[in-house]
Structure formats: structure tokens, C-alpha cells
Amino acid sequence: MASRADSPVHAAARPSWFARIMSRLRGDGEVAAAPVVRRRRVVAATADTSEDEPPLDALAVRQWLWGEGFSIPGNADYVLKLVKPLAATPAMSLLDVAAGLGGPARAIVQAFDTYVTGLERNHEIAQRGLELSVLHGRQKRAPISGFDPEAFELKTGAFDGILARDATYMVQDKERFMRVLILGLKPRGALVLTDYVLDPAQAGRPELGLWTALQPHKPSLWTVQQYVDCFKSLGFEVHVVEDVTHDIKQQIILGWDHLIQTVDIRSLPRPDKLVIVSEAEHWVKTIMAFDAGVVKAYRFYVVAGSTRPPLSSIRKSRK
């Protein structure tokens, strides 16, 4: 167990929670509370596991970190704070264009009694997200479906607001993606986008390669200025451009602290422990990239202005 965890990450770069995770895996120290284990098929389970249960996977671990249905840093409170500028009401229709397992969409529905359409590029994750919406009786107000971010279209003027968390950094044709979003918004509709951005001056550092290798699709990182220029060229009014790297880093740390306090890691079977180690290494390398300055997280809040790109420009870009 130790050799697997020690090899990928330089010891000096490890945050304290990583050492605490390894302490639990080796059987040191005490655990604060009983485990809350959610298995792969998205149904809540107890600590007792049956032989026919599928093995723990990364999505299950991420829900231990940030809550049921949440698969990237940030719990329900974080998401509700993020969407506050959208001023959601029951009369509004919103879009979550990187929905994951649908936790953010369902949290918004719960808080504001609105409708949130969820789109997720990984079709298996989208199916699991829909299962969770059905489980919670939210399949009509928070449906989750798969889509292709490189080729999708939206009904013109269908949405009052759009949430896009980590939605574009693995999209190759970002300009087309943004064109689709602005056409899908109603007049004066707003977009909240958080994403990873590149500092070109640090692009040669090894931490960037370590972080890039973790991603499920090849990243195509933009600078902050490229995002701003794209928004303005498409007729968005740019209201907020904010470095939220520290916030995302804190959400990662808080999630692992929560897991340490609520999951009896030592009682898990060895394959599950290895999944936890692998997931911990993933987020250690993300923090390393943050600390090296090669990757930063930014929040953009933009509003659709009166000037819109023609629909033909989107269809032409697909050829």
C-alpha cells in the first residue's frame, strides 16, 4: 500500500490531509465517525457490503468528498452561492452544461423551485445522474442527459441562465461552445462559468504535465484574456472576472477532511483503499498545479447583450 501511494507524488508537495489519509490506510490513529458508504450504482448503502456489490469507484469517492451527486470540488452550499447572481425563481428555466451526477442541478431545484436541465458529456455519468434524479423525484425538474460539447445545439432563447462549472477546459472548439450558449439564453440571460485557465509563462513546468495526464479528455486551456475576448466578441457583457483558485483549493481540502472524519477507511477492502489512494493523488496533483501557478481557476459572470452571433455561424463551424 505504501509503495503505490509514495511513488507518484513528491513527499514535500503533499498537503497534510494526504498524510492523514495514508495514516488511516496504515491503521494509525482513530476515526471520528462511522462510515457513510455510497456504492457505484448511486444508491445509498450502509457500511455492510454484500459480495454482489460493484467495487468502489472514483465517483463514489467524490460523493464522499462533496456530497451525493457532486463530483467536482464544491458542495451544495458552494454551488448555491455560485449561482446567486442568476437570481433564480420558480418561473425560470436554467441549464447546467456540465452536470455530472446532477447534484448541483438538484440543489438549485431544491433551493429555488426552478427547472434545471442538466447536460453531461460522459453518457454513463449522465445515466447515473438521471437515476439519482429519479430516486429523489426530480426527473422532471432536474433531468440529466448526455451530449457532445463539440457538436451540440440549444433551442434559441430557451434558458434564463446557464451554469458551467469546469465546462470548457477540455472542449477544443470553445468559441463554438460559447456561441451555442449565448444563442440558448434569453435576452439579458446570464452565464456563470468557472474553469481552469493557463498562465503561459508557467507552461513549461512539470506540474502542468502531471495535471494534464489526469484529465479524462485532452485539455485545451485558454488564458483569462482569451475568455474575455471571446465573450465580448459574441456580445456578452463581462461583469465579473475573478481568480477563485484559493476557493477551489479550499473545497478540495475541506472535502478530504470530511472524508477522513466520516469514513472508516481501515474497514474498507483493499481494492477500495486503492481507489481512495488514486483519487487522493489526483487532487494532490491538482493542488500542486495550483501552487506552481501553471493552472488557475477563474469565475466569469457574463450577461447576453443585444448583439448575438447568427445561427448560421454555429452550423458553419461544424463543417
Domain boundaries, the chain: 35-195+220-278+297-319
Q: What is the pTM of this model?
A: 0.86
Q: How many CB atoms lie within 10 A of CB 264?
A: 16
Sheet (strand 159-165) strand order: 144-146, 115-120, 93-96, 159-165, 185-198, 295-304, 236-243
pLDDT tens sequence for the chain (319 residues): 443 444 444 544 556 777 777 777 766 544 444 344 444 333 333 334 445 566 799 999 999 999 999 999 999 999 999 999 999 999 999 999 999 999 999 999 999 999 999 999 999 999 999 999 999 999 999 999 999 999 999 999 999 999 999 999 999 999 999 999 999 999 999 999 999 999 999 989 999 999 999 999 999 999 999 999 999 999 999 999 999 999 999 999 999 999 999 998 888 999 999 999 999 999 999 999 999 999 999 999 999 987 777 666 665 544 4
What are the residues facing 198 on neighbouring strands?
A: 295
Q: CB burial class (10 A; 0-12, 13-18, 19+) of residue 250?
A: middle
Q: What is the pLDDT of residues 5-53, one digit of tens each?
A: 444 445 445 567 777 777 777 665 444 443 444 443 333 333 344 455 6
Cell of 100: 455530472
Half-sphere exposure of 248 (CA within 13 A, CB side): 24
**DSSP 3-state assignment of 259?**
helix
Sign of CA dihedral 82, 86, 88, 94: negative
The pLDDT, as a whole number, for residue 39 is 40
Amino acid at 177: F
Place of cell 487522493: 280
* Domain at 35-195+220-278+297-319, CATH from 2.40.10.120, 2.60.40.10, 3.40.50.150, 3.40.50.300: 3.40.50.150
Phi, then psi, of 211 in degrees rounded to 5: -70, -45
Cell of 219: 485539455
Residue 122 to residue 112: CA distance in whole angstroms: 27
Phi, then psi, of 187 in degrees rounded to 5: -55, 130
Question: Mean pLDDT over all residues of the chain?
Answer: 87
